[in-house]
A and B are shown apart, each in its own frame.
Chain A
Amino acid sequence: MSGHADEQADDGGSGGRWFTSETVGEPSLFERYRIPLGMLLLVAVLRPAVASDFLLGYNAIASKMLIMMLFVAAFNLLFGYTGLLSFGHAMFLGFGLYIPAILVKNGFWLLPEGGNSTFFIGVALALVAVAVYSYLLGKLIVGMGEIYFALLTLAFAQAIYFLVLRDPEELTGGSNGITRGALPDFVEQTRGEIAIEAFGASVDWYWAVGLVFLLAMLALWQVVRSPFGRSLVAVRENEQLARAMGVDTTRYKIWSVTFSGVFSAIAGVLLMVHNSGAAIENLNVFTSGDTVLMAVLGGVNYFFGPIAGAFTWLFAEDFLTDLEVWEFPISALSVVSIDLSGVVAYWQFFLGALFVVVVLTAPEEGIWGYLRSIPVWIHARVTEGEK
């Protein structure tokens, strides 16, 4: 658990162990901005890395990874930072998936079908709608206690799922989802690759996702390092104490649900464009469940935990499913390949096993917690050797 406090403060709630009272708690510039730097680096290297032939070999997975990272990070604002476990987070994603898609497909009044303005108004509408919805939902259920919060989010998510499945007014497309006509004009599709037409230039979809991802994650990071975000942590750590010290824990929880819902819907909008439509699978209970698992796998105590969790999950899914013969990187020199097809077909089993190990050994640390502890461990070894 060491290091927990400073990363959730995320930029040096504790800068070092020995300091004078003038500098105490004042993080260095690097500590202050290491999280944005890390995210910038992530966006810069993620696609070149995973799309290389050695790894997954195709582009689209990188964009999907960024989208899911944002979604799981939004989920973790509620779970990791506020201590509220939502088992129905797919519903918030659904606002971003369906509202712009419905509007762009059908047009409305002065808004033409497929119009760019229709899309952006759809996005604005989706974000306002999800904010109002999650605020009211929070108001209704945060006071019920942890178990009931989890069950009620599940129940509300299922209600929304079945509503969408019913295809009211033929808007949502029922079990087929919205498969065509959901993209605005500025999105260009050629042979499955998406590009964004902006100001006369064509921008690769990955970089567009990367930009939205960075902006949204920076906003999320500002939320968690703001005084507001610190109060959320206080609520999670010791609600009774927080209340006794004058913190209105109920209102903080409601607003945490609201922010988490809005950021999830942003991921939903990206996912809609990424998939060129709204698929109902993204609304179902498995999506909600996977979100919880990704967050726990990555480490709910850390800002980068959900990022690590979503990456590991999607990478394992893709890598282990598609891979039948893994060629060693030295295969160019000598043909070394191992047939793994029989084993890796069970990718979920391996992921499950990894999950069990993580939960049993360090439930709140996750993969990111382990990664963080490696440099510490090496440093300890080295200094030990010096003595």
Chain B
Amino acid sequence: MSRPENQENTGSMETDRTAHRPEVEPVTDPASAALGVETLSRTFGEVVAVDGVSLGVPGGELRAIIGPNGAGKTTLFNCVMGTLPPTAGEVYLNGTAITDDPEERRPHLGMARSFQSNQLFNDQTVLENIRLVVQTTQQGAFSLDLFRTHYDVGRERAVELAEAVSLTDYLAVEAKNLPHGEQRRLGIAMALATDPEVLLLDEPTSGMSPGATTQTAALIEEIRDERGLTVVLIEHDMDVVLSISDRITVLDRGSVIATGPPDAVRENQAVQDAYLGGMREEL
């Protein structure tokens, strides 16, 4: 039911363009973008969680995906990362269709994610959490490496990554005993440990204090700039979204209703309708 709306809005965009009204940009060709999604759908029984989404995120872009609760953002991530198989559509990484690659192959292809809830190896230390991912990145999805010991593999790199997300003081702390914000940063460090070209972050600042949120936003920008990553970000904090993203894609009820630079999206009527005014003040 959101499809007609979408088209209607696209139509109104055309007429409004001259009046500096918000615009929906044409989709970058998914098959030539760093990360592309083409008419991707995912249904759960009767429920259509993701409904024919097409996106193209060019290399080096920091793209935020926003939308009300239940808009299908996390489901879209899960389909892109292979956690869930999409019902229809294709996922492209640097022009190659990877839709059928199993989830555990994708980090080795150059894409990684952090999770919305803190998914960590809880009983392991911060160092070991990162080191395990470094080891997997260096040795591949499976390796019968039986003759070395775990501290021979990937430790220096793990320490470097911990430094990059300011977790050096916590290296020997078990992940479950970390403060919340540090757990989120550990999740980012682990995603970085896969040496990704494309990094997907699912609400990296959720549950953080305003101070920590600002720091994390800065960290994400820094990571993108230093490593030349393409970053796709699901985020609820509008300050973060508006300040760091190059472009924003708005999802509502499983469909893309707007894509564009922050200012354009902020002014978009469809976006404001989707948020039912509740977010309007924030926007």
Shortest CB-to-CB span from A219 to chain B, Å, is 9
A9 touching B107 by the CB < 8 A rule?
Answer: no
Q: Does B276 make an interface contact (CB < 8 A)? A: no
Shortest CB-to-CB span from A15 to chain B, Å, is 7
Shortest CB-to-CB span from A74 to chain B, Å, is 15
Bound state CA distance, A8 and B173, in angstroms? Answer: 15
From the candidates A11, A228, A240, A241, name the one contacting B143 in the complex (CB within 8 A).
A228
Bound state CA distance, A252 and B132, in angstroms? Answer: 14
From the candidates A19, A237, A243, name the one contacting B172 in the complex (CB within 8 A).
A19
Residues of chain A contacted by B93 (CB below 8 angstroms): none
B124 touching A237 by the CB < 8 A rule?
Answer: yes
Q: Does A17 make an interface contact (CB < 8 A)? A: yes
Shortest CB-to-CB span from A222 to chain B, Å, is 7
Q: Does B209 make an interface contact (CB < 8 A)? A: no
B168 touching A244 by the CB < 8 A rule?
Answer: no
A side interface size, CB within 8 A = 45
Residues of chain B contacted by A240 (CB below 8 angstroms): 83, 119
Q: Does B201 make an interface contact (CB < 8 A)? A: no
Q: Does B128 make an interface contact (CB < 8 A)? A: yes
B side interface size, CB within 8 A = 51
For window 1-40 of A, CB contacts with B under 8 Å fall at 1-2, 4-5, 8-9, 11, 13-19, 21, 24-27
Bound state CA distance, A194 and B151, in angstroms? Answer: 42
Residues of chain B contacted by A241 (CB below 8 angstroms): 115, 119-121
A244 touching B107 by the CB < 8 A rule?
Answer: yes
B159 touching A226 by the CB < 8 A rule?
Answer: no
From the candidates B108, B120, B132, B194, name the one contacting A230 in the complex (CB within 8 A).
B132
B136 touching A245 by the CB < 8 A rule?
Answer: yes
A16 touching B150 by the CB < 8 A rule?
Answer: no
B141 touching A247 by the CB < 8 A rule?
Answer: yes
A225 touching B149 by the CB < 8 A rule?
Answer: yes
Shortest CB-to-CB span from A31 to chain B, Å, is 10
Bound state CA distance, A13 and B163, in angstroms? Answer: 18
Binary CB contact string for chain A from 234 to 251 against chain B (1 if under 8 A, 0 otherwise): 100110111111111101
A13 touching B141 by the CB < 8 A rule?
Answer: no
Shortest CB-to-CB span from B194 to chain A, Å, is 6
Given A25-B155, A27-B151, A227-B139, also A246-B123 (CB < 8 A): no
A24 touching B132 by the CB < 8 A rule?
Answer: no
Indicate the member of B113, B123, B137, B150 with the most A CB atoms within 10 Å. Answer: B150
From the candidates B137, B168, B172, name the one contacting A14 in the complex (CB within 8 A).
B172
Q: Does A229 make an interface contact (CB < 8 A)? A: yes
B113 touching A238 by the CB < 8 A rule?
Answer: no
Q: Does B5 make an interface contact (CB < 8 A)? A: no
Residues of chain B contacted by A9 (CB below 8 angstroms): 124, 128, 150
Shortest CB-to-CB span from B78 to chain A, Å, is 10
Closest to B119 in A: A241
A222 touching B155 by the CB < 8 A rule?
Answer: no
A248 touching B145 by the CB < 8 A rule?
Answer: no
B132 touching A226 by the CB < 8 A rule?
Answer: no
For window 77-118 of B, CB contacts with A under 8 Å fall at 81, 83, 103-108, 112-113, 115
Bound state CA distance, A226 and B168, in angstroms? Answer: 24
Given A246-B105, A246-B107, also A13-B125 (CB < 8 A): yes
Shortest CB-to-CB span from A296 to chain B, Å, is 17
A245 touching B145 by the CB < 8 A rule?
Answer: no
8 closest A-B pairs by beta carbon, nearest first, are A246-B107, A248-B141, A248-B142, A14-B172, A227-B145, A251-B142, A237-B121, A241-B119
The residues of A with any CB-CB pair to B shorter than 8 Å are 1-2, 4-5, 8-9, 11, 13-19, 21, 24-27, 222-223, 225-231, 233-234, 237-238, 240-249, 251-252, 255
20 further interface pairs, Cβ-Cβ under 8 Å (given A13-B128, A17-B172, A247-B132): A13-B124, A13-B150, A14-B127, A21-B171, A25-B151, A25-B172, A226-B145, A226-B147, A227-B135, A228-B143, A233-B121, A244-B83, A244-B115, A245-B194, A246-B104, A246-B194, A247-B142, A248-B142, A249-B104, A255-B144
